[in-house]
Amino acid sequence: MVHRVVITGLGTVNPLGLDVASTWASVLASRSGVRRIQGWDTTGWPVQIAADVQGFGPERVGHREANRYERFVWYALDAAKQALLDAGLDPAAPLGERAGVYVGSGIGGSQAIAKNALQIAKDGPRHIPASFVPQSLTNIAGGAVAIAHGAQGPSLCVSTACATGNHSIGEAWRVLRGGEAELILAGGTESAMFDLGLAGFMAMKALSKRNDAPEQASRPFDRDRDGFVMGEGAGVVVMETLERAQARGARVYCEVLGYALNNDAHHITAPPPGHLGAARCMKRALESAGLAPEQVDYINAHGTSTKANDAEESAAIRSVFGGHADRLAVSSTKSMTGHLLGAAGGVEAVLCALALQHQIAPPTINLDVPDAGCDLDYVPHRARPMPMRVALSNAFGFGGTNAVLVFGAAP
């Protein structure tokens, strides 16, 4: 038997807000979460801006947990608890053997690795804490969520760079469809907001240097974009079989209709001309959902605000949707959140669910003059009320990996 899969709970921590309500309010207000970096002295750095999480202290997860884990785990724990509460479930009640956790991260505990590398260079191995290895492991976020909520079913940590969140949700969808579990907490989390994390992307010349106007720095599809803005946070959703959700009278945000993944097999960081891998992935995702291109209303684009991605993604969308591409609403919420790396797909799934629930397409802010090849309707500047039955979410990662999710309005 193939089971239908729905999303019944949402949770997020990100630069726009520490919960779903404040995040959605920021999206509707076209607010940017990009600001000057305060965590360390960036004097003389070419990049001095980022989209960091503000106001999130250790008290949100408890000081014991905060001391045990790195911040990417803090964010996952908080977002997962939010999602369970939103789904009408008791976070203190063990979820049991039929519930799983698919929460991944692109970079994981890189901050712990950097900190302890400096420590061992200074003092040798004597002061390396016993917690170092667990703190550095990418899968500890999902493990911590499973422990916190007694989820003893299928558990998987996906780590596919910026496609992590989409792959996590998509693979969870497969497990639920096949009946191996009835509920899965799925999404992505990331916190690489420290000096080495920023310097690494800066060395690749991938980041915006619009230090004098941080809120205008992330500008997907715009002629004057000069790179992405690094962000952090988490997005986690409660996914259930439709039967389970209906049996307990749960509110349903949307249905997960389809999913596909593939690889460009082209270049470690750059898409091929026309982003053929992304085009194939979108086609296969629609096929898995049993939908025609003309049935799609909205696409949450990968839309990174880089020269390499935006025009090629637009070309891929046009190649898949043909004449219908001119009737699509396509937006990049990274214009507001920045690029949350492994957490991006999780947060964007939350926003797709809200878009379908409220029938409002999120905007692409800072889009003043579309660049050559960027010729779609990107919902510039302001959110747009519109009829919406089907939404796609695109995510592409370093290594050429692609993941596309298809969401449908609540059944």
Residue 294 clears pLDDT 90, i.e. is over it: yes
Give the CA dihedral 293, 284, 343, 372, nearest 10 degrees. Answer: -50
Active site residues: 162, 302, 339
Cα diameter, the chain: 65
Residues 207-220, mean pLDDT to the nearest whole number: 98
Classify the phi-psi angles of 34: left when phi > 0, otherwise alpha if psi is within -120 to 50, otherwise beta.
beta
The predicted-structure confidence for 381-390, as pLDDT tens digits, reads as follows 999 999 999 9
Residues 9-37, mean pLDDT to the nearest whole number: 98
pLDDT of residue 94: 98
Q: Let me know how many helices (H) and strands (E) the chain has, helices first.
A: 13, 13
Estimate the crossing angle of helix 140-149 against helix 71-86, to 10 degrees: 40
Pairing of strands 298-300, 329-331: parallel
- Specify whether the CB–CB gap between 208 and 338 falls below 8 A: no
- Specify whether the CB–CB gap between 55 and 74 falls below 8 A: no
Give the CA dihedral 339, 187, 116, 228, nearest 10 degrees. Answer: -10
Altogether, the residues listed in the chain come to a count of 411
Estimate the crossing angle of helix 310-321 against helix 276-289, to 10 degrees: 40
- Specify whether the CB–CB gap between 286 and 275 falls below 8 A: no
For residues 173 and 294, what is the distance between their CA atoms, to the nearest angstrom?
Answer: 23
Residues 2-24, mean pLDDT to the nearest whole number: 98
Strand, helix or coil at 333? Answer: coil
Cβ neighbours of 396 (radius 10 Å): 28
Output the CA angle 35-138-141, nearest 5 degrees: 80
Residue 1 clears pLDDT 90, i.e. is over it: no
Of 23-37, 110-124, 220-234, which gets the smallest average pLDDT?
110-124
Q: Any residues with CB less than 8 A from the CB of 289 and at least 6 apart, and which?
A: 257, 258, 390, 406, 408
Helices (H), 69-194: 71-86, 110-123, 132-136, 140-149, 164-177
Strand, helix or coil at 158? Answer: coil
Strand, helix or coil at 299? Answer: strand
For residues 275 and 262, what is the distance between their CA atoms, to the nearest angstrom?
Answer: 12
- Whole-model pTM: value is 0.97
The predicted-structure confidence for 192-209, as pLDDT tens digits, reads as follows 999 999 999 999 999 999
| 128 phi/psi in degrees, rounded to 5 | -75, 125
Higher pLDDT, 170 or 126: 170
Residues 63-70, mean pLDDT to the nearest whole number: 90
> Which contiguous run of DSSP H or E holds residue 360?
strand 360-361
For residues 157 and 155, what is the distance between their CA atoms, to the nearest angstrom?
Answer: 7
The predicted-structure confidence for 155-165, as pLDDT tens digits, reads as follows 999 999 999 99
The single residue listed with the structure tokens 């979410």 is 393
pLDDT of residue 291: 98
Residue 63 clears pLDDT 90, i.e. is over it: no
Cβ neighbours of 259 (radius 10 Å): 25
Give the CA dihedral 349, 204, 74, 183, nearest 10 degrees. Answer: 30
For residues 342 and 20, what is the distance between their CA atoms, to the nearest angstrom?
Answer: 18
pLDDT of residue 299: 99
Beta bridge partners of 155: 101
Mean pLDDT of the chain: 97
Alpha-carbon dihedral sign for residues 360, 362, 364, 366: positive
Taking Cα atoms as reference points, which of 128, 108, 109 lies closest to residue 117?
Answer: 128
